[in-house]
C-alpha cells in the first residue's frame, strides 16, 4: 500500500530521499563519540621513582626485576618501558581487546609484587604504583599566570603555579568519571637538595647512607603523646599535649641535622 503511494509519486519520493540524506549527514557530524565501539586496548601503567639514580641504574635495579615478572602475563599483547635520568621509571603493559581493565590491573599488580623484593628499599619506600589508563591523551590543559599591568611580570612564578596545580587541581581532576591519571609537564615540586662534600665525608668516616639515615630519622612527623594521660595518679588535673617540631622546612634546620655522634675519649674529649 505504501509502496504504491511512492511509485505513483516519484518526485515526492525523490525529494523525501534527499531530505533524509541531508538530515542523516547533519546528524553524523554531531554524533557523540560514545556511540562508537571502544577499539583501544586495555593498558596498565606501572610507575616508580629511584631518587638520585641515572637511567642505567634504574634499568638494572628497577626495570629488570619488575619486567622479568610482568613479562608473559595473561592476555598481554606487548609492553614498553622508559627509564629517565631523573630516576623515574614507567612501564606500559597493553592487553588484548576485550580484556577487562580491572582484571588486567590485578594481574599486573600481582606480578609486580613478585618483583618488589629485588627492588631497592628506597624505591619501595617511594612506592610503586599500578594503574589502568587509556593509551591516548584525553585533554591537555595549559595553566598560566596573569601579568602585572605595569611591570608585565607574571603575578605568580612557576613554583607557585606547580604547587597550586598539585594541591588544588590534580585531585579534583582525578575524581572525574573516566579520568585514570593526571600528568604534569614541567612540574616543580618544592624540595630540598643536599650537596655532599666527599673530602669531609672521608675524613669523618661517613657514607651517603649515613646521611640518608640521619635525614630520615630526624625529618619525621610523629605523635609525641601527652603528659598526664591516663592512667594517672590521684589528684592529676591537667593533661598537656606535647607538640614536636615535625618535618624540617628550611635550610638552617637541615644544616643542624646531627649526622653521627662519637662518644668522647680520654685523648679526645670532644664529640663529633
Q: Tell me the pLDDT tens digit for each residue of 34-44.
A: 555 667 788 99
Digit-coded pLDDT (tens) for 159-203: 888 888 888 888 888 888 878 778 777 777 667 788 888 998 898
pTM here is: 0.58
Rounded Cα gap, residues 261 and 271, in angstroms = 6
The grid cell for 180 is: 585514570
Fold of 43-133: Alpha-Beta Plaits (3.30.70)
Class for the domain spanning 198-255: alpha beta
Q: In which band, very low, low, confident or very high, does the pLDDT at 228 lie, cut at 50, 70 and 90?
A: confident
Mean pLDDT is lowest, of 18-27, 164-173, 241-250, for 241-250
CA distances from 254 to 194, 249, 251 (A): 8, 8, 5
pLDDT above 50: residue 272: no
Mean pLDDT confidence for 95-114: 91
Residues 6+ apart with CB under 8 A from 229: 239
- Alpha-carbon distance of 161 to 91, in angstroms, equals 28
Amino acid at each position: 500500500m505504501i509502496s504504491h503511494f511512492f511509485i505513483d509519486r516519484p518526485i515526492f519520493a525523490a525529494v523525501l530521499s534527499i531530505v533524509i540524506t541531508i538530515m542523516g549527514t547533519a546528524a553524523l557530524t554531531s554524533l557523540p563519540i560514545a556511540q562508537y565501539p571502544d577499539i583501544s586496548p586495555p593498558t596498565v601503567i606501572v610507575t616508580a621513582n629511584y631518587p638520585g639514580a641515572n637511567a642505567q641504574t634504574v634499568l638494572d635495579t628497577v626495570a629488570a626485576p619488575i619486567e622479568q615478572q610482568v613479562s608473559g602475563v595473561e592476555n598481554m599483547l606487548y609492553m614498553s618501558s622508559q627509564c629517565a635520568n631523573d630516576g623515574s621509571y614507567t612501564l606500559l603493559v597493553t592487553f588484548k581487546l576485550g580484556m577487562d581493565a580491572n582484571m588486567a590491573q590485578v594481574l599486573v599488580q600481582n606480578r609486580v609484587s613478585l618483583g618488589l623484593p629485588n627492588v631497592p628499599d628506597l624505591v619501595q619506600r617511594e612506592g610503586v604504583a599500578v594503574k589502568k589508563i587509556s593509551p591516548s591523551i584525553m585533554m591537555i590543559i595549559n595553566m598560566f599566570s596573569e601579568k602585572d599591568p605595569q611591570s608585565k611580570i607574571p603575578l605568580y612564578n612557576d613554583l607557585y603555579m606547580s604547587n597550586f596545580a598539585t594541591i588544588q587541581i590534580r585531585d579534583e581532576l582525578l575524581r572525574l568519571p573516566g579520568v585514570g591519571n593526571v600528568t604534569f609537564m614541567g612540574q616543580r615540586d618544592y624540595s630540598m637538595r643536599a650537596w655532599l662534600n666527599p673530602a669531609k665525608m672521608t675524613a669523618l668516616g661517613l657514607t651517603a647512607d649515613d646521611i640518608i639515615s640521619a635525614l630520615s630519622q630526624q625529618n619525621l612527623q610523629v605523635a609525641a603523646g601527652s603528659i598526664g594521660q591516663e592512667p594517672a595518679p590521684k589528684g592529676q588535673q591537667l593533661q598537656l599535649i606535647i607538640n614536636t617540631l615535625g618535618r624540617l622546612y628550611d635550610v638552617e634546620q637541615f644544616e643542624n641535622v646531627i649526622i653521627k655522634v662519637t662518644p668522647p675519649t680520654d685523648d679526645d674529649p670532644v664529640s663529633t
